[in-house]
Amino acid sequence: MVADRYLAGLEVYRVGGAVRDALLGWPVTDVDWVVVGATPEAMQERGFKPVGVDFPVFLHPDTHEEFALARTERKSGHGYTGFEVHASPAVTLEQDLERRDLTINAMARGADGSLVDPFNGQADLAARVLRHVSPAFVEDPLRVLRVARFLARYAGHGFVIADETRALMRQLVDSGELAHLVAERVWAETEKALGESWPEHYFTALDDCGALAELMPQLAHEGPSLAETLARLQRLPEDIDHLDVVAWRWARLVEHLGAPARRQLAESLRLPRRVSRLADQVAETRGLMHAPGALDGQRTMTWLERIDAWRQGEVVASLIDLVSLEDAELAEELALAWRLATQILPQRLVEEGFKGKALGDELRRRRRRAIDDALGRAPRHAR
C-alpha cells in the first residue's frame, strides 16, 4: 500500500466489513477505505474517479476499490435517504466510525496495521454480539434489516443481538419509519439474507421487533407458526444451482400462502419475475402434494400446465426432487409421467402433418396418454 503512488501522503484506513472479516479470520473480498483530511478536488487531482451521488466516494484509478471521504450524517427527513451528509477535511476518523451501524462494523485499520476501535468492536466480535454504535442507530430504518441480515450470516457462530439494540430496533419499528423504506431496498436486504447460512434468523429477528408484521404481514400472520415455515428454508432440492438458492428459499418460505397473499407480497416487495414465478411453481407443487386422493392423469396435466413445464422444462426435475423430500412414491410417479410425456415431440407431429390448433390438440392428447400410461405403470396407481 505504501508503494501505491496514488495514496502517497493520504491518511487512509481500511474500514467496515473488511476489518471485521479479517479479524474473524474470514476471507476478505472487497475492501472499503476511508480518507481523512482530504477534499474531493484533491482526490480527483490524484486521478480518483468520483462515484458517490449522495456522498463523496471515489474509485481508485487502478484497483477500483472505494475510497470515501470521512463524513458525518444527520437525519433530515424520513427513511434511509433523509440524511444530511457532512464531509470535510475536518471530519475525524472517530466521527466517521461513530455514524456507523454496529460496533463490529465501526473499526478501522491504519496503514501501519494499527486497529482503531473506539466503540469496542473487537470485544463485541469476541463476545459474539451485534451491538449498535450510538443512539443515532434509529436514524436509519434500513438498519433493522441489516442487523437481522448480519444475524443470518453469523448466528451459527454464536452471535446474538444485544438487548439494547433489540430495543432500538423495536423503537424504530414503533416509530413507523419502516414505511419509508422502498420495496427494492427491503428485497435487496432480504435477498442477501436468504443467501446467508442461517436465513431463518433474519426472519425471526424481524419478527421479534415487529418488523416482519410491517414489511411482510402475510408471513407474520398467515398459516402455521413462523418456526414451521422457517424450517423449510433448509430443505431444498439437491440439484439446484447455488445461484438459485435465494429464489428457492423464498419459494419455500411462501409456499403455504394462498395465491392472493403470495401475489400481494410479490407486488409489495417488487420481486423479480423469476423469483415470484418459482414461488408460484413451488406453491402449485405443494398443492398437488396435498390434494386428496391418488394422482391421476388430469391432475398431472393441470400441474404441468400451471408450472409452465412445456416451456420451462428445466425446473420440473427440481420440483419433483422437492416432492421427493416428503413423498418419494409420488415423486417417482411424477418423474415417470414427465419422462414419458417429454418423449412426445412436437416436431414429429408436424412431420405427421399436424398444424395450428390441431397440432396443439394432438400434442395434448398424446401427452395425456403418455402420462396415463406412466401412472398405470406406477406402483401406487395399481393399489
Residues that bind ligand CTP (CB under 6 A): 16-17, 32, 100-101, 105-106, 140, 142-143, 146
Residue 116, all three cell numbers: 482503531
CB of 151 to ligand CTP, least distance (A): 12
In the block, residue with C-alpha cell 473487537:
122
Query: Which CB sits closer to ligand CTP, 64 or 339?
Result: 64
Phi, then psi, of 303 in degrees rounded to 5: -60, -50
Residue 213 host element (H or E): helix 211-215
Do 208 and 216 form a contact (C-beta atoms < 8 A)? no
Query: Which CB sits closer to ligand CTP, 79 or 287?
Result: 79
Query: Which CB sits closer to ligand CTP, 71 or 256?
Result: 71
Query: Which CB sits closer to ligand CTP, 106 or 363?
Result: 106
Do 179 and 217 form a contact (C-beta atoms < 8 A)? no
Query: Which CB sits closer to ligand CTP, 100 or 367?
Result: 100
Any residues with CB less than 8 A from the CB of 292 and at least 6 apart, and which? none
Query: Which CB sits closer to ligand CTP, 155 or 322?
Result: 155
Query: Which CB sits closer to ligand CTP, 109 or 146?
Result: 146
What's 381's DSSP letter?
Answer: G
CA distance 122 to 100: 15
Residue 34, all three cell numbers: 476511508
What angle separates helix 313-326 from helix 328-341, to the nearest 10 degrees?
Answer: 160
CA distance 303 to 323: 13
CB of 320 to ligand CTP, least distance (A): 35
CB of 253 to ligand CTP, least distance (A): 21
CB of 355 to ligand CTP, least distance (A): 55
CB of 19 to ligand CTP, least distance (A): 8
CB of 346 to ligand CTP, least distance (A): 47
CB of 32 to ligand CTP, least distance (A): 6
Query: Which CB sits closer to ligand CTP, 24 or 325?
Result: 24
Sign of CA dihedral 161, 81, 93, 86: negative
CB of 228 to ligand CTP, least distance (A): 29
Cα 224 to Cα 32, 87, 258, 345, 350: the distances in Å are 42, 49, 13, 43, 49
Closest residue to ligand CTP in the complex (CB):
17
Do 307 and 285 form a contact (C-beta atoms < 8 A)? yes
